[in-house]
Amino acid sequence: SQQGEEDPQALSIQEGENATMNCSYKTSINNLQWYRQNSGRGLVHLILIRSNEREKHSGRLRVTLDTSKKSSSLLITASRAADTASYFCATLLQSYQLTFGKGTKLSVIP
């Protein structure tokens, strides 16, 4: 079974708007990571947040982590058409398994 579950499954917004994606997971983690995948390509790492951190920023990305609720969110501010992609959360378990959710497909309309 998959550890992480992203919500929503698909999201369509206008360019310039903010996009928020959520991830829930089931068991204790070492860290949580967000990745991006353009269609038919490999994944690209965006940001990593450790279990003792609550918020992290990288450029237009903001990630939060709530270990009590076993959830994380990824915010992309001022979205661009080039942000169109699928976004995945990944959790690193105690056993060093890196497991992924099903992803959120983001479409940014110019």
Residues paired with 75 in a beta bridge:
20, 62
Residue 31 in the binding site for other proteins (CB under 8 A): yes
Closest CA to 72 of 19, 34, 105, 28: 34
Number of residues that bind other proteins (CB under 8 A): 25
The interface with other proteins within residues 38-57 (CB under 8 A) comprises: 40-45, 48
List 2, 12, 18, 28, residue binding other proteins (CB under 8 A): 2
Q: Which parts of 66-105 interact with other proteins (CB under 8 A)?
A: 88, 90, 92, 95-103
Q: Binding residues for other proteins, per CB under 8 A?
A: 1-2, 30-31, 33, 35, 40-45, 48, 88, 90, 92, 95-103
